[in-house]
Amino acid sequence: MKRGHSSLKALAALALSLGLAGIAHAAAPAAKGQAPGWYRMTLGSFEVTALSDGTVKLPVDQLLQGMPQARIQQMLARSYLQAPLETSVNGYLVNTGSKLVLIDVGAAGLFGPTLGKLVANLKASGYMPEQVDEIYITHMHPDHVGGLVEGGKPVFPNAVVRADGREQAYWLSQANLDAAPEASKGFFQGAMASLNPYVAAGKFKPFDGDTDLVPGIRAIATRGHTPGHANYVVESEGQRLVVWGDLMHVAAVQFEEPSVTIGFDTDPKAAAPQRKKAYAAAAKQGHFVAVAHVAFPGIGQLRADGKGYRWLPANYVSAP
């Protein structure tokens, strides 16, 4: 009996110590942080890796145009969201088997302290900046080009950078910078700081409108958000993914109401039809789309839903 009683006491003491340890862990400070921001899928024989540059809070209820602010707030609330909206900034790495192509490079330090993670996530995904052969820019806003340089030097020393020539003519023009409103000058300065080192090295090669770039990747002119905005169509073995850049920004509003534009649009009247055309094609053809500012990884498909569309995120696969 004494031995059994002692055993029970020992077990009680052990349970008490384990319980106390559990309480101590529960009271510890939150670890915070996030897992590396990369997501991989296969597209035919190609490998596509979504890369997160981070998230930034945007006052989308003030930026979106063509709808009353109260209605925008209501639509956000229906998705359990609110303004300012935590907005993803995404880039996309395509391994064709013969070329490693990066589409958009994130902001680095040009769009606030919460961004600038794309290169670190590129490395976490198993690649290095020196391996990138070509970089395709959807447009030259700072959150799409800032990651090209660090300390004034190219981050991707072996890459050729490509964008529509209309982007170069607009954003890299000193005359346009001088004439721009003070609030917009930073957009021009960011583009110049990011692209000019590649221009000086002979590694910037503009194209004009719809252009085949490498086998399986084609640029499609979608001018409106900026003068030379381009989408990139990635195709392999009958499968297609279209990288939209800033064709749209706020999923909770603009999928249901495609006519809503945003204050960042250079030409809202041209941007809205481009968005509607891309939505209709995606819904009809069922191909994947990759969107810079839809919640990471920003890859999914569209289904027509009345006068608008429903966003269907890509199904997660643990070992693509």
Tens digit of each residue's pLDDT (9 = 90 or more) over 275-290: 999 999 999 999 999 9
The answer to whether 147 and 155 are in contact (CB under 8 A) is yes
Same-domain status, 104 and 22:
no
* Residue 18 confidence (pLDDT) above 60: no
The Cα 40–Cα 297 span in angstroms is: 9
pLDDT, residue 5, reads 52
The reply to whether 141 falls in a domain is yes
Domain count, the chain: 2
3-state secondary structure of 227: coil
pLDDT digits (tens, 9 = 90+) for 60-69: 999 999 999 9
Residues 283 and 156 reside in one and the same domain: yes
Asked if residue 93 and residue 7 are part of one domain, the reply reads: no
The band of 297, judged by pLDDT with boundaries at 50, 70 and 90, is very high
**Under 8 Å between Cβ of 285 and 277:** no
Which range marks the domain in which residue 141 is found?
39-313
Tens-digit pLDDT profile for residues 36-76: 899 999 999 999 999 999 999 999 999 999 999 999 999 99
Question: What six digits make up the tokens of 143?
Answer: 């959150």
pLDDT digit string, tens, across residues 93-111: 999 999 999 999 999 999 9
What is the CA angle 292-295-297, rounded to 5?
70
Shared domain for 18 and 49, answered yes or no, is no
- Identify whether 270 is part of a domain: yes
Say whether both 100 and 117 belong to one domain. yes
Helices (H), the chain: 2-26, 60-63, 69-78, 118-124, 142-145, 165-171, 174-179, 185-200, 251-254, 268-285
320 within some domain: no
Q: Please state, in angstroms and rounded to a whole number, the distance separating the CA atoms of residues 207 and 167.
A: 10
**Whole-number mean pLDDT of the chain?**
93
Domain assignment of residue 318, yes or no: no
- Based on the fold, state whether residues 170 and 292 are members of the same structural domain: yes
Contacts of 252 (CB under 8 A, 6+ apart): 75, 76, 78, 79, 81
CA–CA gap between residue 298 and residue 169 (Å, rounded)? 29
Whether residue 72 sits in one domain with residue 23: no
Q: How far is CA 78 from CA 22, 69, 73, in A?
A: 38, 14, 9
Question: What pLDDT is stored for residue 219 in this prediction?
Answer: 98
Residues 68 and 149 reside in one and the same domain: yes
Question: Which residue shows structure tokens 């981070």?
Answer: 54
Residues 20, 43 within the same domain:
no
pLDDT confidence band for 23 (50 / 70 / 90): low
| Residues 224 and 142 grouped into a single domain | yes
Cα–Cα dist 307/318, whole Å: 35
Return the CATH number at 180.
3.60.15.10
Q: Report whether the peptide linkage leading into residue 215 is cis, meaning its omega lies within 30 degrees of zero.
A: no
CB 159 within 8 A of CB 203: yes
Residue carrying structure tokens 């995606």: 282
Question: Are 16 and 111 in the same domain?
Answer: no
Residue 319 located in a structural domain: no
Beta bridge partners of 302: 311
Q: What Rg, from alpha-carbon coordinates, does the chain have?
A: 23
Helices and strands, counts by H and E, the chain: 10, 17
% of the chain surpassing 70 pLDDT: 92
- Both structure tokens of 33: 């942080």
230-258 confidence digits (pLDDT tens): 999 999 999 999 999 999 999 999 999 99
Strands (E), the chain: 38-43, 46-58, 64-65, 85-95, 100-103, 134-136, 149-150, 153-154, 160-162, 211-214, 217-221, 230-236, 239-245, 261-262, 288-291, 299-305, 308-313
CB 257 within 8 A of CB 190: no
Question: In this structure, are 83 and 19 located in the same domain?
Answer: no
| Token pair of 54 as six digits | 């981070």
Residue 126 — very low, low, confident or very high, per pLDDT cuts 50/70/90?
very high
